[in-house]
Structure 1
Amino acid sequence: MGHRLSKITTRTGDSGETGLAGGDRVAKTSARIGAIGEVDELNSLIGVALAHELPEPLPGLLAPLQHELFDLGGELAMPGESLLGGDAVARIETASQQINDSLPPLKEFILPGGTPAAAHLHLARAVSRRCERALWLLAAEETVSTESLQYLNRLSDLLFNAARVAARTGTDNEITWRRPDRR
């Protein structure tokens, strides 16, 4: 295989447009490019979370997400292509349920934080929700695969549960919301 990126600085985006994988040029302000950027940010945040020491089974559950999110970005860069299948949706739904089953039931809302790893996973969860909104904005204008929309919806649940596991590592560092009269 040849080199995919032989030149990084191309200057082709200086006019406010960028190229899609098929060669079409689109405005950098388009909903499609916005969604691609959101997915890229989420992928980066999962990389930050994976850079932390995480309890089992989180590393094995989170590492495939980066590949799947890269597939999703590729799907967005190639309108009409479907790279993220229903198996990815089923995998994260099952993983989320397995993690949830190992956690104590929630009695209060959880605030982001607890440990550095948990805080980064909560941030990834919030960005996952933003990604989903960006895809729905794109879906209002163009066709977006149902699996991609479902994937991001389920992913925020998985990241929430993963953050809970990370916060409970060692000692229970989950931070619960307290009513104003109980602070």
Structure 2
Amino acid sequence: MAVYTKKGDRGTTHLYGEKVARSKSDQRIIALGSIDELNSHLGFVSSLLASGRGSKQARFVGIRAEITQIQSDLFEIAACLATLPGNKLPFEIGLDRVRRLEKIIDGLEGSLPALANFIFPGGSRSGAALHVARSVTRRAEREVVKLAEKEKVEPNILIYINRLSDTLFMLAREVNRLEKKKEEIWKAK
């Protein structure tokens, strides 16, 4: 099977099972693209975490496993978003997935210093990449919300994406802690 079909050369595409082409600027396509972009950023983060040696790499095994699970969730969320309203969703995006993210957040809150101010996104390469993924998550969330304002979207998808940005924020802080990168606190002038 060829990677290219040339069917999208005029700025249109089809969702699975869709008979009529839609513009690539359609809100559902934009939301799907944002989820795909987020998944790619997380793949980049995972590759950065895998690039260490010895004990450094061992510290990140659990975080990489969580990122892989999140990437899998994002594939399933994308499949649901690509399913037209009125059709059966291919996956159930249950609140158990949200609770898994909350468990990660709660576990990290106990081991990281409390924040009284904003911190600058950055730190180690992997920490900074997680901050980028966090901000891409926020954009993806806005795109899915915009879609939900026009068409039916599974409500748990919105909850999951909202919780995911908090999870990535905490993972960025944890990675920077493990990398011994001090958080830079923002102070108003």
Cα deviation per residue 1:52-71 (whole Å; 9 max; x = unaligned)? 22634312221101100011
| Aligned mates of 2:104, 2:161 — CA distance in 1 | 14
- Shift of residue 27, structure 1, vs aligned partner: 1.1
Which of the residues 37, 46, 65 maps onto 1:60?
65
- Shift of residue 89, structure 1, vs aligned partner: 1.4
Which of the residues 117, 121, 124 maps onto 2:126?
117
| Aligned mates of 2:98, 2:120 — CA distance in 1 | 26
| Aligned mates of 1:142, 1:106 — CA distance in 2 | 38
Structure 2 unaligned residues grouped into runs of 5+: 50-56
Counterpart in 2 of 1:156?
A: 165
| Aligned mates of 1:17, 1:105 — CA distance in 2 | 48
Structure 1 unaligned residues grouped into runs of 5+: 1-5
Counterpart in 2 of 1:3?
A: none
Counterpart in 2 of 1:173?
A: 182
| Aligned mates of 1:96, 1:26 — CA distance in 2 | 39
Counterpart in 2 of 1:78?
A: 83
- Shift of residue 102, structure 1, vs aligned partner: 1.5
- Number of aligned residues: 175
CA contact (8 A) 1:110 1:175 kept: yes
Which of the residues 14, 18, 21 maps onto 1:23?
18
Which of the residues 45, 50, 54 maps onto 2:46?
50
| Aligned mates of 2:110, 2:152 — CA distance in 1 | 35
Cα deviation per residue 1:70-89 (whole Å; 9 max; x = unaligned)? 11111111124262222211
After superposing the two structures, state which structure 1 stretch, 50-59 or 60-69, moved more: 50-59
- Shift of residue 107, structure 1, vs aligned partner: 2.6
| Aligned mates of 2:14, 2:105 — CA distance in 1 | 36
Alpha carbons of structure 1 residues 82 and 101: separation in structure 2 relative to 1, 3 Å: farther
| Aligned mates of 1:120, 1:175 — CA distance in 2 | 16
CA contact (8 A) 1:38 1:131 kept: yes
